[in-house]
């Protein structure tokens, strides 16, 4: 076994690094989850979640991963036999569709190039062809590809069309990373997880539900118990949960929300934009390609880097882990072995990103991947331009 000095570089697209402030908050003594202090905490957290989602309506917090939020969205709003549309954007879009299918939802999966974002025209084409569609499932930032879809344009196009279909958005890796406005963009259900832009360990899922989604909930007939929004809302109004909540994760959530408020969300978005641009500048300087084809759709959260034919992306990852104690994301689905993913979201600053990219550059060279050697310099130029961010 190799032993290392210093911190491990966790540069996955999630889980991300947890700030020391959040860890300290989580170490507080557990309190009575039916007591008055906890009730006050719950109300503060629900208000904070509304600020994150940019909504004035219902939000829900469950002790679960993002996959739990997927399920909660489905069972609370749909009935067996309902038709939904899912685009084959990548691994996580397809996973959400599989969850829906297991509940007897009729999922119409649309072939899609995972290297580009879903377009409003593609969504409208599906809606025009079938008036019975109940929901469109779209991933805002597809972590497996590093491609971001323009949800604002899709939401506005759907509402303008007059079609009654709801818009469900996976914002697991985009919330608190890039702008998302649940109410203004006409989203009906937005789901996310704690372990990415929110800078928490895994273990919390959050949802925002529009009034239309709550109307659908009133008539939805899929079986539900743990996820039931009626139970959750009734308890939340009193500051509690219908089960034992993840108390100490909620302590951490309050601290993470405070950190985001202190930085200011516009500054949070600008920082992630800067880091995404710097990372892509490094990749281009290395002479490598990215999964994302269009710069305007490139993710602020993670960059999926393609290795040349004849090379194994997972072998590059192993070298980087063994030699430099840094974890990168593996390629998923059709990009397994063909791409590795650099996470640049959450609790991260410019010097940490430079160290990350230096580790990648050294790993590429040690693995024999043909590349130029000025990727880190190219990233530094971008970072210095944005040094005030």
The domain ranges of the chain are 20-261, 265-385
The answer to whether the beta carbons of residues 33 and 247 sit under 8 Å apart is: yes
- CATH topology agreement for domains 20-261 and 265-385: no
Q: Of the candidates 113, 160, 161, 158, which has an alpha carbon nearest to the alpha carbon of residue 137?
A: 158
**pLDDT per residue over 165-224, tens digit each?**
999 999 999 999 999 999 999 999 999 999 999 999 999 999 999 999 999 999 999 999
Q: What is the 3-state secondary structure (H, E, C) of 260-296?
A: HHHHCHHHHHHHHHHHHHHHHHHHHHHCCEECCCCHH
What is the pLDDT at residue 3? 60
Question: CA 253 to CA 238: how far, in whole Å?
Answer: 19
Question: CA 361 to CA 355: how far, in whole Å?
Answer: 10
Q: Is 343 exposed, middle or buried (0-12, 13-18, 19+ CB in 10 A)?
A: buried
Q: Of the candidates 193, 225, 196, which has an alpha carbon nearest to the alpha carbon of residue 206?
A: 193
What is the pLDDT at residue 2? 62
Supply 12's token pair: 């996955």
The answer to whether the beta carbons of residues 366 and 358 sit under 8 Å apart is: no
User: Going by C-beta distance under 8 Å and a sequence separation of 6 or more, which residues neighbour residue 89?
Assistant: 112, 114, 117, 118, 138, 139, 142, 145, 147, 149
Q: Please report where in the chains the tokens 């009935």 appear, as a residue.
A: 79
Q: Which residue positions in the chain have pLDDT lower than 70?
A: 1-3, 387-389
Instruction: For 160-217, give the DSSP string.
Output: HHT---EEEEE-TTTTTTS---TTTTT-SEEEEETTSTT---S--EEEEE-HHHHHHH
What is the pLDDT at residue 1? 47
The answer to whether the beta carbons of residues 206 and 61 sit under 8 Å apart is: yes
Q: Of the candidates 295, 294, 317, 291, which has an alpha carbon nearest to the alpha carbon of residue 304?
A: 291
The answer to whether the beta carbons of residues 138 and 168 sit under 8 Å apart is: yes
How many other C-beta atoms lie within 10 A of the C-beta of residue 111? 6
Pairing of strands 339-343, 83-87: unpaired
Please state the pTM of the whole predicted model: 0.96
Class of domain 265-385: alpha beta
From residue 262, alpha-carbon distances to 32, 44, 54, 204, 256 in Å are: 29, 16, 17, 22, 10
> Which CATH entry fits the domain spanning 20-261: 3.40.605.10, 3.20.20.70, 3.40.50.1970, 3.40.640.10?
3.40.640.10
Q: Of the candidates 43, 32, 30, 52, which has an alpha carbon nearest to the alpha carbon of residue 235?
A: 43
């Amino acid at each position: 076994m190799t032993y290392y000095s210093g911190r491990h570089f966790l540069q996955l697209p999630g889980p991300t690094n947890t700030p020391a402030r959040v860890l300290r908050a989580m170490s507080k003594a557990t309190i009575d989850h039916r007591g008055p202090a906890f009730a006050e905490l719950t109300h503060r957290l629900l208000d904070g979640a509304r600020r994150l989602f940019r909504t004035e309506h219902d939000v829900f917090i469950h002790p679960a991963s993002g996959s739990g939020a997927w399920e909660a969205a489905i069972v609370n709003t749909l009935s067996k036999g309902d038709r939904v549309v899912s685009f084959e954007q990548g691994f996580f879009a397809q996973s959400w569709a599989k969850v829906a299918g297991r509940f007897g939802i009729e999922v119409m999966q649309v072939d899609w190039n995972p290297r580009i974002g879903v377009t409003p025209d593609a969504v409208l084409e599906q809606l025009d062809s079938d008036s019975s569609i109940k929901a469109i499932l779209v991933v805002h930032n597809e972590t497996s590809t590093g491609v971001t879809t323009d949800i604002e344009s899709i939401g506005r196009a759907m509402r303008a069309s007059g079609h009654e279909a709801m818009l469900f958005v996976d914002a697991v890796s985009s919330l608190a990373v890039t702008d998302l406005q649940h109410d203004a963009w006409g989203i009906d259900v937005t789901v996310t997880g704690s372990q990415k832009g929110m800078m928490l360990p895994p273990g919390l899922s959050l949802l925002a539900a529009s009034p239309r989604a709550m109307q659908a909930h009133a008539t939805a007939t899929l079986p539900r118990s743990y996820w039931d929004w009626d139970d959750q809302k009734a308890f939340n109004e009193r500051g509690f949960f219908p089960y034992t909540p993840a108390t100490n994760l909620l302590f951490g959530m309050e601290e993470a929300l405070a950190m985001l408020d202190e930085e200011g969300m516009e500054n949070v978005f600008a920082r992630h934009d800067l880091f995404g641009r710097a990372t892509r500048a490094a990749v281009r300087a290395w002479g490598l390609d990215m999964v994302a084809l269009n710069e305007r759709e490139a993710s602020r959260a993670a960059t999926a880097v393609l290795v040349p034919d004849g090379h194994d992306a997972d072998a590059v990852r192993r070298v980087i882990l063994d030699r430099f104690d840094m974890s990168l994301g593996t390629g998923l689905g059709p990009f397994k072995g063909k791409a590795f993913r650099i996470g640049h979201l959450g609790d991260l600053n410019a010097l940490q990103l430079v160290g990350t990219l230096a580790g990648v550059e050294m790993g590429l060279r040690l693995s024999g991947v043909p590349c130029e050697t000025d990727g880190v310099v190219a990233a530094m130029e971008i970072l210095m331009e944005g040094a005030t961010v």
